Amino acid sequence: MRQIYLDYSATTPVKQEVLEAMLPYFTENFGNPSSLYTTGSLSRDAIIKAREQVAHLIGAKDKEIFFTSSGTESDNWAVKGVAESLKEKGNHIITTMIEHPAILRTCENLETKGYRVTYLPVDQDGRISSSQLADAITDETILVSIMTVNNEIGTIQDIPELCRLSKEKNRNLVFHTDAVQALGNMPIDVKTWGVDLMSISGHKIYGPKGIGALYIKPGTRIANFMHGGSQEAKRRAGTENLTGIIGFGKAAEIAERELEGHIHHSRELRDYFIDQVTRRIENVTLNGSREHRHPGNVNLTFDFIEGEAMLLYLDMNGIAVSTGSACSSASLTPSHVLTCLGVPLEKIHGSLRFTMGDFTTKEDLDYTIEKLTEIVARLRSMSPVSKEKGW
């Protein structure tokens, strides 16, 4: 059966070039980068190169990149590390209601330890208001953490502007952005953006899973999170994930080289898909911003039917999509992101996320649209709600 993968925001396949760069470091050059003999120094050199590749993609210096085990660890480190380091200066943290659970659950954890957290709401498009952010900042605010691109609805925030404004209000606070979904999908430049901390992850840019990084601007007050050996310039203990780091580096190099083409390709497919689905299927709404949107994200609500049923039928036809974020798809609790946009509960349950990437073709989308049209019609013909509405 034809297999169509439309869940690139959950994860991406490792590119062949990335795999080939990694392979020798599993079996031949497997030395511990901390060892003093030759295989150790080969591993060290490979890490130096990967750090440069990752740094270059976001406009950072290599010394400002610290490898972690994931985007989740980077987010935890950013939030907990700043909270601990600046606890004498204040106990107030600002974030948004639509962050990834890696930020939300971490902030909730800090609330149990006496920190005060403001969760900013978003407008219908999923954008936060700069005046609301400015109003929330006080002398007690030590950290502002706002994601660059939302993983469910693809909304892009104006991070350079939000960072500038935050620092204008309180120049001592630390500004963090979770750029996991932004990496490789838009140009990023930490220097012109002005952020102090940025979380990124390998497996969203055709690199391996289980490798992430935290960008730390020099001088940023942030306590260590992992304690142990003196790896990562004594900032993050633990024997380096050598192959993961090399894969992340290679993926970053490719992402930078192909950024423009990748964005153009994804955007064309995204717009084609939105146009065709909304034309061919009635009572469908696009969630999130049309303008400020991840180039490969389509989040749609299909009235009168359940997203889970659609997902299963699509899966039976070899098509992989997601209901909400990958992390929450195992539970049936309604998406917190769509809830924040004001989407009514019954509509949230009829929502699906389709995310496109480098290996998606127009033919894939045509096949998906054909199957989706049939599935929606079938489910609606069985749905008591659509019967009630005279469908």
Ligand X SMILES: Cc1ncc(COP(=O)(O)O)c(C=O)c1O
**Residues in contact with ligand X by the rule CB under 6 A:** 70-72, 75, 100, 102, 147, 151, 178, 180-181, 201, 212, 326
Q: What is the signed CA dihedral for 208, 209, 211, 212, rounded to 10 degrees?
A: 110
Name the β-bridge partners of 353.
299, 322
Nearer to ligand X, 64 or 73 (CB): 73
327 catalytic per annotation:
yes
Residues in the chain: 391
Least distance (Å) between residue 335 CB and ligand X: 13
Token pair in block for residue 262:
């990748």
Least distance (Å) between residue 305 CB and ligand X: 26
Least distance (Å) between residue 131 CB and ligand X: 25
Nearer to ligand X, 181 or 185 (CB): 181
Choosing from 107, 163, 327, 340, which is the catalytic residue? 327
Residue nearest to ligand X (CB): 71
List Cβ neighbours of 43 (8 Å cut-off, separation of 6 or more).
25, 29, 30, 31, 32, 33, 35, 240, 242
3-state SS string for 329-368: CCCCCCCHHHHHCCCCHHHHCCEEEEECCCCCCHHHHHHH
Assess contact for 117 and 148: CB atoms under 8 A. no
DSSP state letters, 287-310: -S-SSSB-TTEEEEEETTS-HHHH
Least distance (Å) between residue 119 CB and ligand X: 16
Nearer to ligand X, 53 or 383 (CB): 53
Report the candidate in 109, 116, 105 with the shortest Cα–Cα distance to residue 140: 116
Least distance (Å) between residue 116 CB and ligand X: 23
Nearer to ligand X, 24 or 210 (CB): 210
Nearer to ligand X, 21 or 200 (CB): 200
Residues labelled catalytic: 327
